[in-house]
Amino acid sequence: MTKKYLIVANWKMNPDAPGRAVLLANKIERSLGRIRNVEVVLVPPFPFLLPIAAVIKRAKLGAQNVFWQDCGPYTGEVSWHQLNHIKVDYVIVGHSERKLFLGETDEMIHDKVRVLLENDMMPILCVGERERIGDDIPAIVGEQIKAALKGIKKNLLKRLVIAYEPIWAISTMPNARPDTPASAFRALIYIRKVVSELYGRTVGDSVRIIYGGSVNVKNIQAFLEEGQMQGALVGSASLDAMEFAEIVMIASRVGK
């Protein structure tokens, strides 16, 4: 049975110029010619969304953030409506770097998830613990999910992606180390359990769950096979076109 994985390139605040961003997007786009069973999403900084939208056909476009109002006096913010106009499909919500460095709260994350789901866009909801003691997935992960989805209707959940992103595993964090596939699998089971308790087993089993945190060509296969993740949120490795293309190719081979 063929599996369709979701591989998301989160470029964060990189590269430093539009020409480099378009060059990177073009290189990745060319590498996707023979890929059939992987959905690839490029998520550049806001200023590069339009030029990249103009050059990609196989990859989809994502944004790194969104505001929950349609328009108004919100200096520096970008709405779902504005993103929708330039064919953005996915939006990363609640990334740990925004929580840690910019003070994003559970309430803000909830409002962003809600407005995206209500307007036929696909949030990539990031959840994960700051530290781990022992093998059990900390309850904070479940609390983040419950807060983000509070009051959201069941029928909207088909567009939701949850990215398990243990903060201690993100390459930008001090002493970062990737999680293990076995641990990621425990997180996947835990997340499905939490969603099932909120919305029932059918929804819990169907929501897409991907892994984020120091993903590279050496570990992606194990996270997909042993960890049974349905894709990956790739950070620094997505800035190298050749490495990211190999990550996508590995996912394609695993999915056959």
Q: What is the mean pLDDT of the chain?
A: 95
> Cα torsion for 19, 74, 111, 4, to the nearest 10°?
-10
> Is pLDDT at 1 greater than 60 in this prediction?
no
* Segment 26-68, tens digit of pLDDT: 999 999 998 989 999 999 999 999 999 999 999 999 999 999 9
Check whether 3 has a pLDDT greater than 90: no
Is 203 within 8 Å of 195 (Cβ atoms)?
A: yes
Let me know if 191 is exposed, middle or buried by CB neighbors in 10 A (0-12, 13-18, 19+).
Answer: buried
What pLDDT is stored for residue 135 in this prediction?
Answer: 76
pTM equals 0.96
Higher pLDDT: 243 or 214? It is 243
For 3-10, what is the mean pLDDT? 94
Q: What's the average model confidence in pLDDT over 146-162?
A: 97
Known catalytic residues? 95, 165
Is the confidence at residue 176, as pLDDT, over 90? Answer: no
Element (H, E) at 214: none
Q: What is the pLDDT of residue 133?
A: 77
**pLDDT, tens only, 107-140:** 999 999 999 999 999 999 999 998 887 778 999 9
| Mean pLDDT, residues 231-236 | 96
According to DSSP, residue 43 is labeled E
Specify the pLDDT at position 170: 80
Q: Where are the beta strands (DSSP E) in the chain?
A: 5-10, 38-43, 60-63, 88-93, 122-127, 161-164, 208-212, 231-234
Mean pLDDT to the nearest integer, 171-184: 83
Burial class (CB in 10 A: 0-12, 13-18, 19+), 92: buried
pLDDT of residue 2: 58
**Residue 169 — pLDDT band, cuts 50, 70, 90?**
confident
Name the token pair of 37: 């069973």
